[in-house]
Amino acid sequence: MKIIMLGAPGAGKGTQAKMIADRYGIPHVSTGDIFRANIKNGTELGRQAKAYMDKGELVPDELTVKILLDRVAQADCKNGYVLDGFPRTIPQAEVLDKELSRLGESIDYAIDVDVPDENIVKRMGGRRACVTCGATYHIEHVPPKKEGICDNCGGELILRDDDKPETVQNRLNVYHTQTQPLIDFYNAKGVLREVDGTKDMMEVFDSITAILG
């Protein structure tokens, strides 16, 4: 079972990807994690990726797909995997498609966790992080015992720049331009499934497991 998670930043697709991985005993493959692992282990692919990242450039699609395929060729992926954070663009999806078909494989499901922009801006604007220990809270869903104070260490809780409404809106604009076309791409292939990401986390997961069986 080869699954791609789609959805805007803050839609909760990473959380759902981890839960799917646990339920079905398949790896949760995050491109960020693979990059870090390759760079840390000093692999040839890691060195190539680091050369781009050190210059502040995006890693080219071909190299990203190579690093990804290297990961999914490992033994723990033989029964499938959940891709989180890749592909982000149509060219990446096309390269992935071409390389998988060369191996006689294809994506089984692309699951879109659909959440309206205004919900995401509100959801992320409610996040708070401790400046001392890094613990995270949400003013509605996981509030601290005392407003503005970390339960763990008593540190100050702040709204990170990443979670400020104007930053979130910018990220959403990039998502709609670059990543949203993937929904049409996978829909045309007949593998797209959409779930309502505004529901409770477990309800969203139940919708996904109903699709996956």
Distance in angstroms (rounded) separating the CA atoms of residues 4 and 6: 6
Tokens for 37, please give them.
């692992």
Beta-strand (E) ranges in the chain?
2-6, 28-30, 81-84, 109-114, 127-130, 136-138, 157-158, 192-196
Q: Six-digit token pair at 66? A: 């190579």
CA atoms within 13 A on the CB side of 128: 21
Pick the catalytic residue from 2, 66, 71, 127. 127
127 flagged as catalytic: yes
Using alpha carbons, select from 1, 12, 182 the residue that is nearest to residue 86. 182
Active-site option among 2, 13, 66, 128? 13
Distance CA 188, CA 182 (A): 10
List 2, 88, 123, 128, catalytic entry: 88
Q: Which residue pairs, CB below 8 angstroms and at least 24 apart, start in 160-164?
A: 160/127, 160/129, 162/124, 163/124, 163/125, 163/127, 164/125
Q: How many beta carbons lie within 10 A of that of residue 19, not counting itself? A: 19
The closest alpha carbon to 2, from 63, 86, 66, belongs to 86
Bond preceding residue 87 cis, omega within 30 of 0 = yes
Set 47, 98, 160, 189: catalytic member: 160
Catalytic site residue 171? yes
Catalytic position from the list 164, 171, 193, 199: 171
Does residue 13 carry a catalytic annotation? yes
Active site residue 128: no
* Active site amino acids: 13, 88, 127, 160, 171
